């Protein structure tokens, strides 16, 4: 029986290919295909439903149901048996459809005559395109071989839909990859840009889903899998791999060497698919199985599966990552995800970055912020929809992207960019002026940095120095621990580029969302509150001492500012400070030059440090509030969790009161205090922080102009009075009161 079905499915696919090869128009082709499938499967009804939008299916062709229902019958995702197939991405097979839970009767189709129902998804690698249905009067369940045969046909229909074989009137039969699409993700980095799509990993296009000679195709798939296995084995043989990297690659190799994977692809080829179509069919089927699994580890293996399948397709088709396409002007990088080193290779030539996955604290987001490239993360399905060269608009402020935008959308977006450019010109005129409020208070504005590429912005932005230099990026973008000499050279170049302006170097801040590729990841239930930053440095002091030595040698007679991250209690600061003092003594005793002066600071990122003993504030030279981390601990709201991170407001009365408390703790000892983080670069938030007594703010370079412009036109004492009144009135947030106050202030 199985062999008969396989030959039948090959015969059906050949007939299907003949129909697809005709010059018939899209609707005519679909009608011929439903007739062909019904005839071959021996059923009275065959229908094809296609998505007209992400939530709605439309009956686009049928053999056996009423023709007038075509393009009139529609259903929502999950509605009825057809909607269930589409939602789950899995077949539904029943002998008595009307008695099935969720059955929806559609009188306009005349389907009340038919009892049995078999529906299979038309899908392509995670992209749901529609549903293929067979129905018959006889109350019978379809056999496994019949389900398999229909599944194979659906795979071919998916490939042909992708290639535009069924174009016609209306959205359901519109040309794929041509319609405007809006993607709502999250903001990875603020800013707006217009450009053209550049795919990090271009999609492999399968143009030959049906094969004539199964034996030739099986030889091709076996040879390609052999090449794939050798390439994975070569990766594993690399001497630079540590134990954990090997463990990841072993899981990867297990997929590549899976006999079941190869056997299933060979069965698909026996049924009539080409080697390429067989790879995609198994990729789609396994994706659907894994997406239903509750185990997070198994779901993460989807990335391994996708990567292996894409490698195999590239071997089969010869379509490498380098397709010969020329990077467009104003490229916007679109990727499922990307590592920091890969993103740095693209550098500043990118106008924007859009990731299908990612997080606000990911390494890629850190690099995008360092390069000031607008970034949108969690833009679901963008890699399956975008094509190289497509027009695209990136709105990093809102976390949205417009792919192939309509002209009206593009025009209003260009207006927004033009307004931002005009504002930047206005801010440029303030570059050399101090940030002095109307009542004569001077606020010192500094910039955050983490790469040499950031330093040219020091001059252009009008920043008075670097309030935070993140040293971890140099560790994150390498495959092995950097050497002391390398770091000393880098830090020397940073200081040279700063041209005498102060640079506050933060020692290595790893852990939480920043895991070094060559360091053993810690299995922690809550890494943000786990073994990270100074905790790692004090427990494993070798790396901390090496970095301190590199910093001391780089400063060579200059003034030095160094701060330790994530200090939660006084004793941690004392211990870290002792390490630095010992290294200064050691350098002196070796006859090496030491810095002219040394200021030792702490990052206040946990509420506990605000309540440290007076001795801490007396001993520390400066305190820098790490706003991003402090806020998440103050509000108990994980900044990686989109459900809660937007619930809290920096202008919350309690948080501003906490800022005033920190200012008051530093004041008796004249301890310098600054605020680093995204909020320092938001003008309204910056105004509130300055009003609460903070006199140094550090932000991304592009924010300095807008912040300075606002501070120069406001009376800080008046702003503080507004804040105090709002807090006294019992308001949760002072934002409305401050906005109302600003509306009364002149330009």
Catalytic positions: 363, 676
Q: If you search the block for the tokens 């990612």, which residue do you land on?
A: 358
Q: What is the 3-state secondary structure (H, E, C) of 152-216?
A: HHHHHHHHHHHCCCCCCCCHHHCCCCCCCEEEECEEEECCEEEEEEEECCCCCCCCCCECCCHHH
Helix (H, G, I), strand (E, B) or coil at 403: strand
Helix (H, G, I), strand (E, B) or coil at 594: coil
Q: How far apart are CA 164 and CA 5, in angstroms?
A: 29
Alpha helices in 466-605 (DSSP H): 473-476, 484-498, 534-539, 541-555, 570-589
Closest by Cα among 108, 85, 88 to 97? 85
In DSSP terms, which residues pair with 400 in a beta bridge? 184, 395
Contact between 351 and 393 (Cβ < 8 Å): no
Instruction: Provide the token pair at 730.
Output: 């019992």
Instruction: Provide the token pair at 747.
Output: 């330009």
Residue 78, sorted as left (phi over 0), alpha (psi -120 to 50) or beta, turns out to be left
Instruction: Provide the token pair at 572.
Output: 């941690």
Q: What is the 3-state secondary structure (H, E, C) of 648-691?
A: CCCCEHHHHHHHHHHHHHHHHHCCEEEEECHHHHCHHHHHHHHH
Closest by Cα among 316, 313, 363, 349 to 201? 313
Instruction: Determine how many CB atoms are found less than 10 A away from the CB of residue 508.
Output: 22
Instruction: Determine how many CB atoms are found less than 10 A away from the CB of residue 608.
Output: 13
b/e map 392-431, b = 16+ CB within 10 Å: bbbbbeebbbbbbbeeeebeebeeeeeeeeeeeeebeebe
> E strands of 31-88, at which residues?
45-53, 56-63, 74-76
Q: How far apart are CA 744 and CA 95, in angstroms?
A: 73
């Amino acid at each position: 029986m199985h062999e008969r079905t396989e030959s039948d499915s090959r015969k059906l696919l050949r007939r299907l290919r003949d129909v697809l090869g005709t010059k018939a128009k899209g609707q005519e082709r679909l009608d011929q295909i439903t007739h062909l499938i019904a005839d071959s499967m021996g059923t009275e009804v065959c229908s094809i439903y296609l998505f007209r939008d992400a939530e709605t299916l439309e009956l686009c062709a049928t053999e056996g149901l009423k023709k007038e229902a075509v393009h009139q019958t529609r259903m929502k995702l999950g509605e009825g048996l057809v909607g269930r197939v589409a939602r789950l991405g899995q077949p539904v097979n029943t002998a008595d459809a009307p008695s099935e839970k969720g059955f929806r009767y559609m009188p306009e189709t005349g389907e009340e005559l038919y009892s049995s129902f078999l529906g299979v998804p038309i899908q392509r690698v995670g992209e749901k395109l529609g549903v293929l249905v067979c129905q018959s009067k006889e109350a019978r369940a379809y056999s496994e071989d019949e389900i398999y045969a229909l599944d194979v046909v659906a795979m071919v229909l998916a490939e042909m839909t992708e290639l535009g074989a069924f174009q016609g009137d209306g959205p359901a039969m519109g040309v794929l990859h041509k319609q405007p699409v809006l993607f709502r993700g999250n903001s990875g980095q603020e800013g707006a840009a217009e450009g053209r799509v550049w795919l990090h990993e271009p999609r492999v296009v399968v143009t030959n889903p049906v094969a004539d000679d199964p034996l030739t195709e099986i030889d091709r798939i076996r040879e390609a899998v052999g090449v794939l296995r050798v390439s994975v084995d070569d990766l594993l043989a690399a001497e630079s791999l540590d134990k954990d990297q090997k463990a990841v690659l072993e899981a990867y190799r297990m997929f590549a060497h899976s006999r079941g994977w190869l056997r299933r692809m060979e069965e698909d080829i026996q049924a009539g698919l080409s080697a390429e179509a067989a790879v995609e069919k198994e990729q789609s089927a396994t994706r659907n199985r894994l997406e239903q699994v509750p185990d997070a580890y198994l779901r993460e293996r989807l990335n391994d599966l996708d990567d292996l399948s894409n490698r195999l397709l590239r071997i089969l088709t010869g379509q490498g990552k380098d397709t010969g396409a020329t990077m467009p002007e104003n490229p916007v990088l679109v990727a499922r995800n990307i590592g920091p080193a890969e993103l740095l290779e693209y550098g500043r030539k990118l106008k924007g970055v859009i990731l299908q996955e990612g997080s606000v604290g990911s390494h890629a987001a850190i690099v995008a912020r360092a390069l000031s490239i607008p970034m949108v993360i969690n833009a679901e399905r963008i890699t399956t929809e975008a094509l190289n060269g497509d027009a695209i608009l990136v709105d990093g402020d809102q976390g949205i992207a417009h792919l192939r935008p309509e002209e009206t959308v593009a025009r209003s977006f260009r207006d927004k960019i033009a307004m931002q450019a005009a504002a930047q010109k206005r801010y440029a005129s303030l570059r050399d002026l101090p940030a002095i409020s109307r009542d004569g208070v001077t606020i010192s504005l500094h910039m955050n940095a983490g790469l040499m590429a950031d330093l040219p912005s020091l001059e252009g932005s009008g920043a008075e120095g670097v309030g935070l230099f993140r040293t971890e990026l140099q560790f994150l973008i390498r495959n092995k621990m950097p050497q002391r000499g390398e770091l000393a050279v880098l830090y020397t170049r940073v200081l040279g580029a700063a041209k005498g302006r102060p640079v506050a170097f933060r020692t290595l801040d790893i852990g939480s969302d920043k895991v070094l590729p060559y360091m053993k990841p810690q299995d922690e239930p809550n890494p943000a509150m786990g073994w990270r930053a100074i905790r790692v440095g004090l427990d494993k002091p070798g790396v901390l001492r090496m970095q301190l030595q590199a910093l001391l040698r780089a400063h060579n007679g200059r003034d030095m500012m160094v701060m330790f991250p994530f200090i939660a209690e006084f004793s941690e600061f004392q211990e870290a400070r002792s390490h630095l003092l010992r290294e200064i003594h050691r350098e002196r005793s070796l006859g090496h030059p030491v810095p002219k002066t040394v200021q030792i600071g702490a990052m206040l990122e946990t509420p506990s440090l605000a309540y440290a003993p007076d001795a801490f504030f007396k001993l520390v030279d400066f305190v820098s509030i790490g706003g991003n981390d402090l806020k998440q601990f103050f509000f108990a709201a994980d900044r990686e969790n989109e459900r809660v991170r937007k619930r809290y407001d920096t202008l919350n009365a309690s948080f501003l009161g906490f800022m005033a408390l920190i200012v008051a703790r530093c004041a008796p000892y004249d301890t310098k205090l600054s605020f680093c983080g995204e909020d320092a670069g938001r003008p309204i938030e910056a105004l509130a922080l300055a009003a609460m007594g903070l006199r140094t703010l550090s932000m991304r370079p592009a924010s300095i102009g807008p912040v300075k412009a606002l501070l120069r036109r406001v009376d800080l004492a008046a702003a503080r009075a507004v804040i105090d009144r709002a807090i006294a009135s019992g308001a949760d947030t002072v934002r409305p009161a401050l906005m109302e106050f600003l509306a009364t202030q002149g330009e």
